[in-house]
Structure 1
């Protein structure tokens, strides 16, 4: 579990995050949603330890980040997996080499052990047989699955995903959403997903926080988001054509 208390973050005198409180539960898909400029990316980078807040604290399974030594902070980062918006695969490396990269960086495993683990995670994301292909030889959806395999190869306690469905068609996006949710539950990971994709909210939004201009405006689940009377939230979610259709169907059923 990750618990955030009263986080403030500024750049060049301009405050971007205004005292955010949030809890991200283990074994659940925790979503951060909001429009562009809402502070989602800054908040995610604070959770990753890339940005240091001026105020507030972040606790990882009860341990306060600011109280950790540099060595403890390094160890914490090793327990984090990251799925980047554009997959961020190395073009000159094969699929297997991309997935093995964190093992070479952060472990002292033998090559046979690394090969076994790479095969294990590639099988888990349904990419058996793609080991020797290069990123340019596989589809965007397959590239995302490689990115997920790489993110979990070191058995992380925390998984962070930045717009994991960016550039994917709706059907492939649902496949990726479901895969992330399955892995979260199977491995009991604390997963935090930064997204503006309303399909993801509807599909896997077990715990959601909504940010606007650096303020926390709402927290809830994918079911509760339809029932809220918070106008800021409803204006945002019903700007999506998908949610308009869902809302229309709900009203017809009343």
Structure 2
């Protein structure tokens, strides 16, 4: 579980996060949604330690990251898996080498042990036998699955996903969404997904946090979001391409 208590972040005179408090639950897909400029990405970067908030606390299973020494923060980083927006695979490395990279960085395992673990996670994302291929030789959806394999290879307690469906067609995006949720449940991970995609909200939005102008203006479940009378949320939901298409069909 990750607890966020009154987090504030500013850049110069611009206050981007204005005192956000929420909880990201273990074994759940926790979404951060909102329009561009709402503070989603800044909040994610505060959670993973790339930005230091000016106020508030972030607690990982009850331990405040602000109170951790260098060694404790190093241990925490080893417990975090990250799925980047563009995949962030190394073009010059094979699939096997990409997935193995965190093991080489953070463990002292033997080469044979690392390869066994790589094969295990590649199998979990349905990419058996692709070890020696390079990222350019596989599709965008397969690249995202490689990125997921790399993110979970160290058996993380916390998984952060930044716009995981960016650049994917709707069918492949649904596959990636479902894979993230399956892995979250299977390994009991605290998963945080930043997205603006309403398809993702409908597919995997077990716990949803809606940001607007640096404030948390609503939170609930995927069922709750379609019942709320919060105008900021309904404007966001019903302006999405998905609901425009649904309305167009209904109006025919």
TM-score after normalising by structure 2: 0.97
Equivalent residue runs for 1:102-117 within 5 Å: 102-117=102-117
Give how far 1:67 is off: 1.4
Equivalent residue runs for 1:219-230 within 5 Å: 219-230=219-230
Cross-structure match for 1:157: 157
Equivalent residue runs for 1:1-254 within 5 Å: 1-244=1-244
Alignment partners' CA distance in 2, 1:134 and 1:213: 41
Alignment partners' CA distance in 2, 1:245 and 1:206: 24
TM-score after normalising by structure 1: 0.96
Cα deviation, 1:163-222, whole Å, max 9, x if unaligned, reads 000000000000000000000000000000000011000000000000011011100011
Give how far 1:152 is off: 0.3
Give how far 1:246 is off: 5.7
Cα deviation, 1:122-179, whole Å, max 9, x if unaligned, reads 0000000111100000000000000000000000000000000000000000000000
Residues 51, 20 of structure 1: alpha-carbon distance in 2 compared, 3 angstrom cutoff: same
Give how far 1:64 is off: 1.0
How large is the RMSD of aligned CA atoms in angstroms? 1.4
Please, which runs of 5 or more residues in structure 2 have no aligned partner? none
Give how far 1:68 is off: 1.1
Give how far 1:71 is off: 0.7
* 1:218 aligned counterpart, secondary structure: strand
Give how far 1:66 is off: 1.2
Cα deviation, 1:61-84, whole Å, max 9, x if unaligned, reads 011111111110111011000000
Alignment partners' CA distance in 2, 1:56 and 1:47: 12
Residues 75, 188 of structure 1: alpha-carbon distance in 2 compared, 3 angstrom cutoff: same
Alignment partners' CA distance in 2, 1:177 and 1:44: 18
Residues 208, 247 of structure 1: alpha-carbon distance in 2 compared, 3 angstrom cutoff: farther
Alignment partners' CA distance in 2, 1:177 and 1:246: 21
Cα deviation, 1:1-28, whole Å, max 9, x if unaligned, reads 0000000001112110000011000000
